[in-house]
Structure 1
Amino acid sequence: MKALEVARYFITLNKEQCLDELIDLSKLKLQKLLYYAQGYYTAMFNKPLFEENIEAWEHGPVVREIYDALKHIEGIYIPTNTYAMSDSEISLLYKDAKELIEDVFSVMGQYSAWKLRERTHNESPWENNYEKGQNKLIPLEDIKSYFKPYVNVQN
């Protein structure tokens, strides 16, 4: 799966949640949701949700490909109507991936972008890999190890 598919599904979930009043998702918050989705999925299924790497940037974990895909958008918010998935695209998502993304959105989506940023700054994957002025790779193993105690996997 590609990180852009995961990102677009988060944008779609945000759109569905905010039907009465369109509230676009911020780029910063989306990056943190991607990090949490990757963390929980990797810890639960022993494989990454998406193939792109996550890096430790000043404001927390970032998927560079998503940053690059959205940096042309003026302001901090992603236009929902441009990036939301169609029903046919959603139907192509794997069930376990779809459910985990929904769970992460349900739990972590309630927090502001800055609250999620603050949280990630207190978690070892970012803390152990961040170096001021550099965008260093956060090894997937660091992410998996951090999230493993938070998931209950039944085999």
Structure 2
Amino acid sequence: MVSAEVIAKEFVNKGIEEGDPVTQMKLQKMVFFAQGLHLALHQEILCNEPFYAWKFGPVVPSIYQLYKKWGSSPIVEKAATPESANTNNADLLTSSERETLDYTWEITKNLDGITLSNWSHAANSPWAQAYAKGENTIISNSIIKEYFEQNLIRQSAGTES
């Protein structure tokens, strides 16, 4: 388990390196997707910070603070996080965490923030279950895990039977 900032930094760096930088909205949804995927596939938490059900979807406040200066513009500058300032990010990740981030990147890199936001707002999504207008409620990892197991794992397995 690593900090949300380390996960976000991985996606920001991949975007810059591949010439397709992410926006704050897309970044938040990618980190959320990675958390859900990791919970469903590996039965463990990927990032050690809670996701909050904000108006525009699941958000980790520390990621918001780290990248808020970019607004809705693409993030084109690599950020140093306190946890990883003097370390290669790869050294902080286990092989299963790295696999989750690489897989998440591959399946979300060509989607924009609006598309990912619409996905995160789907009926019965973890965000939809937790959101309360005017409040910043935490989205429980158990709800995230259950949703990803039902909507990712079971759908994939259903194609094999």
- Scaled by the length of structure 1, the TM-score of the pair is 0.85
2:103 paired residue number? 103
Among 55, 73, 78, the alignment partner of 1:77 is: 73
- Determine what percentage of the aligned residue pairs are the same residue: 29
Quote the residue 1:146 is aligned against.
Answer: 147
Q: How does 1:2-81 map to 2 (within 5 A)?
A: 2-18=3-19, 23-71=20-68, 73-77=69-73, 79-81=75-77
Contact kept, 8 Å, 1:13 with 1:102, in 2: the verdict is: no
Aligned to 1:88: 88
Give the stretch that moved more between structures: 73-82 or 109-118.
Answer: 73-82
Larger displacement relative to structure 2 (130-139 or 90-99): 90-99
Q: CA deviation at 1:70?
A: 2.1
Residue 133 of structure 1 and its aligned partner are, at CA, apart by 1.3
Q: State the alpha-carbon separation in 2 of the partners of residues 26 and 69 from structure 1.
A: 12
The separation in 2 between residues aligned to 1:50 and 1:92, in whole angstroms, is 12
Unaligned segments of structure 1, at least 5 residues: none
Amino acid corresponding to residue 102 of structure 2 in structure 1: E
**C-alpha distance in 1, partners of 2:87/2:77?**
13
User: For residue 59 of structure 2, what is the amino acid of its counterpart?
Assistant: V
Task: Return the alpha-carbon distance in structure 1 between the equivalents of residues 48 and 10 of structure 2.
Answer: 16
Question: Per-residue deviation at 1:97?
Answer: 0.7
Taking structure 2 as the reference length, what is the TM-score of the superposition? 0.82
